[in-house]
């Protein structure tokens, strides 16, 4: 899921019916990228974002798994078209492609990539 989707989910913000069904499905393999945690940490340090204090616990208690960044993910970023300039979003797209996952996002630039997606 895109970083904003994680924050909205944890904050109880409205998401699409399909996104809620996927994120609430205890049997689904739902992944949170280390790139999202990294992005939130940077924005928090800059004073641009308030991150839930027990983020790690919240992620695991909701049944989400953390996806580390691997060599194949980093290499795949270089093969992406330039739809999006944000390095964190580009990494999320690359990870979804390498791991054959669906990405949940509202970012229209993310959704331009040829990756399975669900509108958040």
Domain regions of the chain by residue span: 3-119
Stretch 20-42: mean pLDDT: 95
3-119 belongs to which CATH class? alpha beta
Mean pLDDT, the chain, integer:
96
Stretch 16-43: mean pLDDT: 96
Distance, CA of 101 to CA of 90 (rounded, Å): 14
Distance, CA of 54 to CA of 86 (rounded, Å): 26
Looking only at the bridges linking them, the beta strands covering 117-119 and 103-105 are parallel
Q: Please, which pLDDT band fits residue 115 given cuts at 50, 70 and 90? A: very high
Q: Tell me the per-residue pLDDT of 47-85, one tens digit each, with 9 for 90 and over.
A: 999 998 899 999 999 999 999 999 999 999 999 999 999
> What's the pTM value of the predicted model, to 2 decimals?
0.94
């Amino acid at each position: 899921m895109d970083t904003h989707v994680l924050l909205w989910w944890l904050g109880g913000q409205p998401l699409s019916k399909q996104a809620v069904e996927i994120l609430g499905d205890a049997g689904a393999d739902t992944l949170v990228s280390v790139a999202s945690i990294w992005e939130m940490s940077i924005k928090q340090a800059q004073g641009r974002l308030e991150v839930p204090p027990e983020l790690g616990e919240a992620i695991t208690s909701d049944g989400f798994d953390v996806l580390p960044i691997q060599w194949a993910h980093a290499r795949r970023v270089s093969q992406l078209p330039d739809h999006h300039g944000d390095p964190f979003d580009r990494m999320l797209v690359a990870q979804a492609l390498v791991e054959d996952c669906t990405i949940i996002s509202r970012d229209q630039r993310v959704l331009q990539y040829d990756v399975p997606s669900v509108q958040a």
